[in-house]
Structure 1
Amino acid sequence: MSNPRAEDKRARSTAARLYAVQALFQMEASGQSADRVQREFQDYRIGVEHEGEISPEADENLFTRITDDAVTWQSKIDQSTDRALVAKWPIERIDPVLRALFRAAGAELVTPSTPPRVVITEYVRLAQAFFPDGREPKFVNAVLDHMAHSLRPEAFN
């Protein structure tokens, strides 16, 4: 039997991850600070009605934690991503949406709050939403698996 509270919590966590990827993409594209982009999302995007559509509610604490940690740990996350990518294909050369996705996932992998397998599953699902017809979800799965083993090896013993 399904638990509506658990499903709502999961949906809010998934939405927080989606918004975090979008926010990180926006921060990189616009050069805006994390604080400014977070406020914009909280005031104008998360759970807000726009043109008759209501955007999903999100776990705003998770959203803020992911974006803050992605900024704080960006160098470590990017180095881990670079090691998981083909040597001749550094993170700067990959699609900016994928870069934002790897940084958001990396932020969750750097801290032990969420099990790595959950992080991988959630971000592969997001990759499927962003790239429904491409190979990117399999690529994301492989890169995140490598990153998870590198950043959180204790979780795989």
Structure 2
Amino acid sequence: MTASAGGAARKSRGGARRSAARLAAVQALYQIDHSGASPDIVVEEFLRFRLGDSFDTENDVAPQKALFTEIVRGTSGRISAIDETISTALSNKWTFDRLEFILRAVLRAGIYELEAARTPARVVISEYVDVAHAFYDGQEPGMVNGILDRVARRVRGEEFGAEE
């Protein structure tokens, strides 16, 4: 294996760890929304009991715990503003209250990451569309794509340049 191939493999593994963190964060946000539990308690529970060395046993990937924690706590800390952003981005046929808990969690985490602006917008959108595919076989991943794209163009339009 060449040095560059090894670097690509490490980057791929790191990307998988970030993807696993996003999936776990959505599950934690779902639990918070559904049960009304405190974000700090849910984060601690996930860190101690659910995010062992291999959260994604199918791919043997341990999530990046710092990213998981940042997404859950950051999203929870801005929940009202994020929910307003979701409501504004929905089409006229949809209301926020009509969204399923898991769909809300996916959108909330994705919007938090878009607003935090640490990861390229297209990567954030792609990651959360993939997370949506983990839960849905229907049109929901397309809805996630559309809403996150709409929000990304509003909050990070410079990344899309003349494409708008």
TM-score (ref. length: structure 1): 0.90
Report the AA paired with residue 64 of structure 2.
D
C-alpha distance in structure 1 between counterparts of 2:133 and 2:157, whole Å: 26
1:57 to 59, 62, 79: 62
Show CA shifts across 1:34-76 (max 9, x none).
11000110111112579x9897411111001111111122122
Q: Report the equivalent of 1:153.
A: 157
Deviates more, 1:3-12 or 1:71-80: 71-80
Could you tell me whether the CA contact under 8 Å between 1:46 and 1:55 is conserved in 2? no
Could you tell me whether the CA contact under 8 Å between 2:89 and 2:151 is conserved in 1? yes
Report the AA paired with residue 120 of structure 1.
I
Q: Report the equivalent of 2:82.
A: 77
Superposed displacement of residue 156, structure 1: 2.0
Show CA shifts across 1:8-59 (max 9, x none).
1001000000000000000011111111000110111112579x98974111
Q: Report the equivalent of 2:127.
A: 122
2:145 to 129, 141, 149: 141
C-alpha distance in structure 1 between counterparts of 2:30 and 2:103, whole Å: 9
RMSD: 2.1
Q: Report the equivalent of 2:10.
A: 5
Q: 1:54 and 1:45, CA in 2 relative to 1: closer, same or farther beyond 3 A?
A: farther
Larger Rg: 2
Equivalent pairs, count: 155
Indicate the SS of the match to 1:128.
helix
Q: What are the ranges of 5 or more consecutive residues in structure 2 without an aligned counterpart?
A: none
Q: 1:153 and 1:53, CA in 2 relative to 1: closer, same or farther beyond 3 A?
A: closer
C-alpha distance in structure 2 between counterparts of 1:147 and 1:125, whole Å: 18
Superposed displacement of residue 139, structure 1: 1.0
Report the AA paired with residue 67 of structure 2.
L
Q: Percent identity?
A: 43
Q: What are the ranges of 5 or more consecutive residues in structure 1 without an aligned counterpart?
A: none
Could you tell me whether the CA contact under 8 Å between 2:54 and 2:61 is conserved in 1? no
TM-score (ref. length: structure 2): 0.86
Could you list the runs of 4 or more consecutive aligned residues of structure 1 that deviate by over 6 angstroms after TM superposition? 52-55
Q: Report the equivalent of 1:110.
A: 115
Q: 1:53 and 1:45, CA in 2 relative to 1: closer, same or farther beyond 3 A?
A: farther
1:31 to 31, 36, 59: 36
